[in-house]
Structure 1
C-alpha cells in the first residue's frame, strides 16, 4: 500500500555564499586569475600595464562565471532536485549555466572593448568577435561540470544520510508501536471488565468478546503496514471505544465522523487513533460528573483529521507513561510525508491534527 505523500522531505544544502566563505573564495579567485594571466599572456610580462589589464579582465571573468554558476547551482537545488528528475535537472543545468555564462562573457567583453578600445555596439556582434568567446565558454563548461558534479554528490550523500536516519526512526517507531499494541495493561483491564460482564450481563459479555477479538485482529492485520484505510481505522476506533465505554461508562463521551464522509482513498498510519485515545484516557481525569470529551473530526477538504479532548490532567505514576507515544506517531508521519503532525495544548483542550494521505492509483 502506497500513499501520494510517501516521499522524503527535500534536503536543503548550506547557503552558497555563507559569510565565512567570502574571504576564502576571494583568495581562490585571485590566485586563479594570477595563474591564468601568467600562462595565457606570457608576452605581457614585460608590459605591466597590459599585464594589469589582462589580470583585471581575467578576474572579472572568473568572478562573474563563478557567481553565475554558483547561484545557478543554489537555485536549481531548490527548484529542480537531482532526486526528483535527473534528466530535467541535467537539461536545466546546461541551459542555465551556459546561458548565464554566455551573458557574463558577452557583457565583460563588451565593456572591455567599449571602454578601452572605443569599439561600437555593431562591431561587437560581428563574426570575428564571436571567436573570442570560445575559450571562456570552454572554461565555463569545465567549471560548471565541477560545481554541478559537487552539487549532485552532496545531494546524493544528503539523501542517503536522511534515508538511513528515517529508516532507523521508522524501525524504532514500529518497535514502539508493536509494544503498545500488545500492552498488557489494556488486556488486563479488558479481562477484568469481561469478568464482571459474564456474571451480570452475559449477552453484553458476548458482544464484548467479539469487539475485543476485532481489536486484536485489526492489530495483527496492521502489523508491517505503513498506512491503512481511514475507514478501517475509524471502525477499529469504534471497537476500541466500545471496550473503553464498558470500563468508563458515562465518564467517556466520544464523537466520530460518519464513515460515509470518508474518501475511499484516504489513509493514515495504523493505530494512530488508538494512540491518541489512549493518551487522552491515560493523562486526564474522567468521571460521570466531569466526563472526558473526545472529538474526532475530518475537515471539509478531507485532508486533516482533528482529534481533540478536554484537558483535565491527572497525576501519572512514575513509569506509567514513557512520553514517547506522540514522538512515535510524529516519526511515522515524517517517514511518509513532509506535512507535520500539529500538536496544540490550551487551557481547556488538547488538540492533535493528523494529515490524511491519499492513495496513488497504480494503474
Structure 2
C-alpha cells in the first residue's frame, strides 16, 4: 500500500511539472497565460492521464525487475520496458478515453473508436518512454556508482589486509635479527650482551608503538636510528661508522620502522670489522630519504628471511605513488625511500 501511495504521489508531481512546462510553452508563444488553462477539461484530463500512466509505468518497471532481478539483466529489462510501452500505453489511453469521453455503452464505444486517429496515443507513449528512460538512466548511473564504490572498497580492503600482513612481519623479523646479534655478543662479550639485552627492551617498545601506524615522522625515525646504531655498536664497536647528513624534512613522514629494516639490511649482508668498517649514511636527496652503505658483501652471508627490503617496497606500494629506488654499484648500496 505504501508503494502505491508513493507511486501516485510521484505521478502527480511529474504530471504537474509536465503541465507547467506546457503552460510555459504557451506563455512564450502567446505572451499570456490565463488561469482557465489549468481549469480546462483538457488540463484535467491530462492530469488524470499522467497519474494513470505514472502508476502503470511504475508497476511495469516493478514487474520487470521482479521477473529479471539480476543486475546484469538491467539492459534487458529496459528493452522490454520500451517494447511493452508501445503496447500498454495505447491500451491505457484508449481505456481512459472511453471512461472520460463516452457514455460507456457499446454503441458509444464503437462510435468513439471509429473516429480515432492512428496517432492518438503517440505523444503519451513517447512521453511515457522518455520519463521511464530518465528513471532507468538514473538507475544505471546509480548502479555504476555503486559498483565503483564496491570496487574501491574491495581494493581498499585488500590493500589494508596486505598492509596488516606486512606490518605483522616486522615483529618476528626484528626478533630474529636481534637474537642473532645477541648470540654473537654472548660468544664475544657477556657484559655487553647484558647491556644489549637491557637496551633491546626500549628499542622493542618503540617497534610495538610504531608498527601499527601507516606513517610516522622522520624525526622519530631518526631518533630511533641513532638509538639502534648505538645498540649495534655494543657488538661491532668501531666496526660501524654512522653518518647523518642535513635533513630538511624532519617534520614530514615516512613508513614507520623503515630505517630500522634498512639498517638491519646493511648489517646482515656486509662484512664488518675494525679494519674494514661499515659506513652507514642517512641523508636527504630531494624528496627521498637515502640510506647508503659502502659495499663489502659477505662471501657466505647468513640465511636471509628476505623480508626487510621487500617489506618496505611493498608497504610504500600500498601507501604512496612514489616508488622505492634501489641502487647498487661495486662500491656502494643505496635505498631511497619517498618522503610523504
- Report TM bin, short chain: 0.5 to 0.7
Q: 1:147 to 1:247 in 2, by over 3 A?
A: same
| Cα offset, 1:294, TM superposition | 2.1
Q: Which position in structure 2 is the counterpart of 1:312?
A: 296
Q: Which position in structure 1 is the counterpart of 2:171?
A: 178
- Kept after mapping to 2: 8 A contact 1:214/1:239: no
| Cα offset, 1:242, TM superposition | 1.6
Alignment partner of 1:296 is 2:282? yes
For these two proteins, the number of residue pairs brought into alignment is 230
| Cα offset, 1:238, TM superposition | 0.9
Q: 1:38 to 1:271 in 2, by over 3 A?
A: closer
Q: Whole-Å Cα distance in 1 between the matches of residues 315 and 328 of structure 2?
A: 25
Which range moves more in the overlay, 179-188 or 285-294? 285-294
Query: Which of 140, 161, 164 is equivalent to 2:154?
Result: 161
| Cα offset, 1:317, TM superposition | 5.2
Q: Which position in structure 1 is the counterpart of 2:267?
A: 281
Q: Which runs of 5 or more residues in structure 2 are unaligned?
A: 1-74, 88-123
> How far does the alpha carbon of each residue in 1:22-78 deviate from its partner, in whole angstroms, 9 at most, with x for none?
xxxxxxx9xx9999699769xxxxxxxxxxxxxxxxxxxxxxxxxxxxxxxxxxxxx
| Cα offset, 1:223, TM superposition | 4.4
Q: Which position in structure 2 is the counterpart of 1:217?
A: 205
Q: Which position in structure 2 is the counterpart of 1:255?
A: 243
How does the TM-score come out when normalised to structure 2? 0.54
When the two chains are superposed, the root-mean-square deviation of aligned CA atoms in Å is 4.0
Q: Whole-Å Cα distance in 2 between the matches of residues 192 and 152 of structure 1?
A: 64
| Cα offset, 1:276, TM superposition | 0.5
Q: Which runs of 5 or more residues in structure 1 are unaligned?
A: 1-28, 42-130, 199-204, 358-363
Correspondence list, 1:133-152, <5 A: 138=131, 141-142=134-135, 144-152=137-145
Q: Which has the higher contact order (CA 8 A, sep 6+)?
A: 1
Q: 1:253 to 1:327 in 2, by over 3 A?
A: same
Q: Which position in structure 2 is the counterpart of 1:189?
A: 184
> How far does the alpha carbon of each residue in 1:73-110 deviate from its partner, in whole angstroms, 9 at most, with x for none?
xxxxxxxxxxxxxxxxxxxxxxxxxxxxxxxxxxxxxx
Q: Whole-Å Cα distance in 2 between the matches of residues 345 and 189 of structure 1?
A: 30
When Rg is computed on C-alpha atoms for both structures, the one with the higher figure is 2
- Kept after mapping to 2: 8 A contact 1:211/1:242: no
Query: Which of 297, 307, 311 is equivalent to 1:328?
Result: 311
Q: Which position in structure 1 is the counterpart of 2:232?
A: 244
